């Protein structure tokens, strides 16, 4: 039986933009102000270390993507490596983290809008 082939529609520019967008998430812009307020100038090496860790994670995903060329991302990687129950947990945790990421992005957007347009009063509880 023939295995289905993945369509390779993404070029270099789109793939690069997806990687940059995934690594420079909204959380960086929401949390960085609080972190800078607490850490002061020590935030610079902290951001550099976190950037290096993020880069290593991106390299790991690139290797996994070439070693396991199947659709499904984290779920498929964990299913191939560890089996069914671990991939089940991975899928659910990925789903939950995407829900929290969406809420955090909405809060970040509300912060930016309320900063740029102070006359618009956006209660943060209404955003989420």
* Per-residue pLDDT tens digits for 54-107: 889 888 888 888 888 888 888 888 888 888 898 899 889 989 988 888 887 787
| Res 128: pLDDT | 56
Residue ranges of domains in the chain: 13-67, 71-128
Residue 73 phi/psi, 5-degree rounding, is 60, -130
In angstroms, rounded to a whole number, what is the distance separating the alpha carbons of residues 109 and 103? 10
Rg (CA), the chain: 19
Cβ neighbourhood burial of 64 (10 Å; 0-12, 13-18, 19+): middle
Q: What is the pTM of this model?
A: 0.61
């Amino acid at each position: 039986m023939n295995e289905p082939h993945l369509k390779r529609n993404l070029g270099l520019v789109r793939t690069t933009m997806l990687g940059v967008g995934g690594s420079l998430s909204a959380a960086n812009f929401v949390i960085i102000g609080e972190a800078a307020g607490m850490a002061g100038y020590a935030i610079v090496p902290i951001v550099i270390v976190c950037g290096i860790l993020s880069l290593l994670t991106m390299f790991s995903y690139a290797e996994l993507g070439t070693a396991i060329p199947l659709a499904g991302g984290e779920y498929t990687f964990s299913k191939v490596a560890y089996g069914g129950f671990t991939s089940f947990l991975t899928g659910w945790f990925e789903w939950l983290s995407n829900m929290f990421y969406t809420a955090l992005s909405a809060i970040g957007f509300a912060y930016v809008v309320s900063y740029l347009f102070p006359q618009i009063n956006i209660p943060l509880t209404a955003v989420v």
